[in-house]
Amino acid sequence: MHISGAIALVTGANRGLGRHFAAQLLDRGAAKVYATARRPELVRLPGVEVLPLDITDPASVAAAARAAGDVNLLVNNAGVSTGADLVAGDLDLLRRDMDTNYWGTLSVIRAFAPQLASGAILNVLSALSWVSSPGAGGYAASKAAEWNLTNGVRLELAAQGTLVTGLHLGPTDTDMTAAFDVPKSDPAAIVKAGLDGLEAGEWEVIADEMPRVAKAALAKDPREYYAQR
């Protein structure tokens, strides 16, 4: 996938990783970048074309696909982390995690897939696609689902030549992790790793240390990983 000359759409582009994606796509020579958000008035980045998009609203998704019919690179960045636990957490919050991170991402992919032949999709995933953590049970479950969604979509779109890349990252210095006092990666570096991997044709990009450890843990007895946490 060559970003120079591409026409890209980034979901959740008003802040955090999404804003960095839109900015770096422009820096890499994308011909056009649609920067989308539920509240488009919050997108403040020169050079982008702003569109409203709520990925949990089918009508909004359909309208965005009609308005951006020239897109050949889709960056699924929009997501949510409600902090809900699976057993005692609020079911409405747990559904919000899944409705946004899984169903919302799938809805956008389905809407744009016909125009992505010989193009690409980049899904922003997480180290918590592979492990879980107290206080993030709902988020982790939704990201695990989104990870396998990424694998399934890759298989289904292979015949039309669509590259599907998953970007896995640990805690990153954005609003989503502002309340957590843990080491955090630079969002600009995470986005660069994702776009570098996309241009290299990678199926999976492990952007920092936490997802590297989490993926290695999948091949081991789970007690080994969780006993250290």
Spell out, as residue ranges, where the chain has pLDDT lower than 50.
none
How many independent structural domains does the chain possess?
1
pLDDT digits (tens, 9 = 90+) for 175-212: 776 566 777 789 999 999 999 999 999 999 999 999 99
Which CATH number belongs to the domain containing residue 107 in this structure?
Answer: 3.40.50.720
How many Å separate Cα 208 from the centre of its chain?
15
How far from each other are the two terminal CA atoms of the chain, in whole angstroms? 38
Return the closest-CA partner of residue 70 out of 30, 40, 32: 32
Go through 184-217 and write b for each residue having 16 or more CB atoms within 10 A of its CB, e for each that does not: bbebeebbbbbbebbbeebebbbbbebbebbbeb
Within the chain, what is the greatest distance between any pair of CA atoms? Answer: 50
79 within a domain of the structure (yes/no): yes
Residue 40 lies in a domain: yes
Give pTM, 2 decimals: 0.94
Euclidean distance between CA atoms 3 and 88, whole angstroms: 44
For the stretch 140-164, pLDDT in tens is 999 999 999 999 999 999 999 999 9
Residue 66 lies in a domain: yes
Is residue 1 included in any domain, yes or no?
A: no
